[in-house]
Amino acid sequence: MTTVTQAISERRSARAYLSRPVSADLVRDIIEVARRTPSSSNMQPWRLSAMAGPDLDRLRDAVRQSLAANPAAEGSEYKIYAANLKDPYNRRRIKCAEDLYGTIGIPRENKMARLMQFARNFDFYGAPVGMILSIDRAMEQGQWADVGMFLQSILLLAHERGLSACPQAAWAAMHKTVRAHLALPGEYIVFCGISLGYADLSQPINSLVTGRASFEEIADMRGFTEDARAAEPVLAVQPL
């Protein structure tokens, strides 16, 4: 059985999927277990809609119609990225994009090809299951972190069950169409989409392995003795 360490170190965001369907029981099982995700004061400020088959097709059609009328999309209700994003965060973001487009041979100057690839977000990259994750707009920053933990639970549970998934902030920019399709109550903000299915490993875009900052860049340890650190088991984890 997949361990938590394996799931975290092996999981990747898939952007091409097989047409193989995912059973309703399997999707429900993932969501049932994810309900155990911790949240501040156990408020559980998330809402998740999972779609497949004709219902998912209707959302895809509605999004295509919306984009045809307004190629700039509908605008997110929250800031996905900080304005004037500083390094090293901006540098990491740019490298991720360059590496991603590099797997499918799209150079920086080919803006149209990049735009077309980005538009595949709104097809859930061809996945047989699409999810929309929302948060109650009355919540503050601490509860947004809770929603992130719930999202991580979905991703890791999918990997454990042999599925692949990709969190997609791009869906926040289609909140009007999504809201109408799901009859989503007005108090909820569309946080992101999630594509779910069986990855098509023959597609080069799924070969992307993103790097991670070193331990020293993101963490420090204080007050530990050398003996105490040596006594703890060390698990080897390969960053993806």
Q: What is the pLDDT of residue 161?
A: 97
Q: Is 219 part of any domain?
A: no
Q: What is the pLDDT of residue 74?
A: 93
Instruction: Quote the number of domains for the chain.
Output: 1
Contacts 24+ apart (CB under 8 A), 76-79: 76/169, 76/172, 76/173, 76/175, 77/137, 77/172, 77/175, 77/189, 77/190, 78/172, 78/189, 78/191
Q: What is the pLDDT of residue 190?
A: 98
Half-sphere exposure of 66 (CA within 13 A, CB side): 22
Task: List Cβ neighbours of 172 (8 Å cut-off, separation of 6 or more).
Answer: 76, 77, 78, 80, 189, 190, 191, 192
Q: Is 89 part of any domain?
A: yes
Q: Is 13 part of any domain?
A: yes
Q: Is 115 part of any domain?
A: yes
Q: Which of 109, 116, 104 is nearest to 71 (CA)?
A: 116
Q: Is 218 part of any domain?
A: no
Task: List Cβ neighbours of 70 (8 Å cut-off, separation of 6 or more).
Answer: none
pLDDT tens by residue, 189-211: 999 999 999 999 999 999 999 99
Q: What is the pLDDT of residue 231?
A: 58
Q: Is 237 part of any domain?
A: no
What CATH number has the domain bearing residue 59? 3.40.109.10
In the chain, which stretches have pLDDT less than 70?
227-240
Q: Is 238 part of any domain?
A: no
Q: Is 105 part of any domain?
A: yes
The reply to whether the predicted model has a pTM over 0.95 is no
Taking residue 131's Cβ as centre, other Cβ atoms within 10 Å add up to 26
Task: Name the residue range of residue 111's domain.
Answer: 4-213+224-231
